Chains A and B, each alone.
Chain A
């Protein structure tokens, strides 16, 4: 009797077919070598694929910035709007067509500086959309000014002696403003990010994902990082901890680290549902 061990089947993961979701002939994209925005876009496309939603049911809306160029490359319904106003346009779209899946891609400057007002009110309303904030701690598109997430002491074209402004914690701000799903990911942890974005897309209500990614051209160069890789290792890998591991770590190991994963998830009435229930129904019953 033969005792030969059954041949071990090699586990082969096939690469993901991004072309399915990209507009033909639009690549190469405008992002600099090593810019994290492309890595985030790929995680987003894989997450969208997992939802099984048809492309025509998805609307991607952005403001202005390097990150806000994303909709130009993807084969969904897309809208490239005004600086800071992506969430206002997205609210209008969702309000008119609640059947569509609305995704906002926005930079930390776009979402939290000029667009901070729209951001907090979209969260407060808990309107059903997914907002991905690409946090590279700088205004990439306009040449590296500091942003509302730039760390204290960091250098920018507008903070030559080191930034004196304390940064926002995007997730705390989203939670305090009323978003019912709040999470954080990084470009480095790309598979985890894909899962987090998928969870955000499946959530009913306002879902915000703060995504730490690198701008090697400005933030990197001005803060003396040697490469995009080094930025990913220090700012994304070493500087963050998954919330599931955080409980097991002593407090000194968590000092100064940002938490990744789903940080907040609650059921709260959604804006379009409330409008249907409390406005449309009442208004039409009077006729």
Chain B
């Protein structure tokens, strides 16, 4: 039987607020995020464990994970 598909996280990035400081990228334990230009972007959504560390340490209210 196939493994039930893991519910994917929903990562909401506010591009107007993100200042591209990279804190969320550097502290993400599973390397989900990357910098694209001066804004954070999702690189590997499947790896996200919804641990919330990116949101907790973002100084700019720019990222939320549901």
Contacts and interface: CB of A to CB of B under 8 A. Distances in A.
Given A28-B60, A35-B59, A42-B61, A229 B23 contact: yes
A12 B57 contact: no
B31 interface: no
Given A12-B50, A229-B27, A232-B23, A36 B17 contact: no
A13 B51 CA distance: 8
B57 to A, nearest CB: 6
B18 to A, nearest CB: 9
B36 interface: no
Contacts of A31: 59-60
B24 to A, nearest CB: 10
Contacts of B50: 12-13
Contact of B21 (A12, A28, A34): A34
Given A229-B23, A229-B26, A29 B60 contact: yes
**Secondary structure dominating the interface of B:** loop
Interface string A182-204: 00000110110000000000000
A15 B57 contact: no
Instruction: Using C-beta atoms within 8 Å of the partner chain, give the interface range for chain B.
Output: 20 to 34
Q: Which of B23, B65, B66 has its CB near the most chain A CB atoms (within 10 A)?
A: B23
B34 to A, nearest CB: 14
A29 B27 CA distance: 22
A140 to B, nearest CB: 13
Contact of B22 (A15, A22, A27, A228): A228
B57 A190 contact: yes
Nearest to B51: A13
Contacts of A22: 61
A15 B13 CA distance: 13
A232 B19 CA distance: 17
A232 B53 CA distance: 14
Contact of A28 (B17, B22, B52, B64): B17
A187 B23 CA distance: 12
A229 B22 contact: yes
A275 interface: no
A28 B20 CA distance: 13
Interface string A1-28: 0000000001011111010001000011
Nearest to B27: A229
A36 B64 contact: no
A227 interface: yes
A228 B65 contact: no
Contacts of B52: 13, 15
A190 B52 CA distance: 11
Interface string B1-24: 000000100000000110111110
Closest 6 CB pairs of A and B: A38-B59, A34-B21, A33-B19, A229-B26, A33-B21, A15-B64
Given A15-B55, A190-B56, A229-B26, 13 more contacts: A13-B51, A28-B60, A33-B21, A34-B19, A34-B21, A38-B58, A38-B60, A42-B58, A188-B57, A190-B57, A227-B21, A229-B23, A232-B57
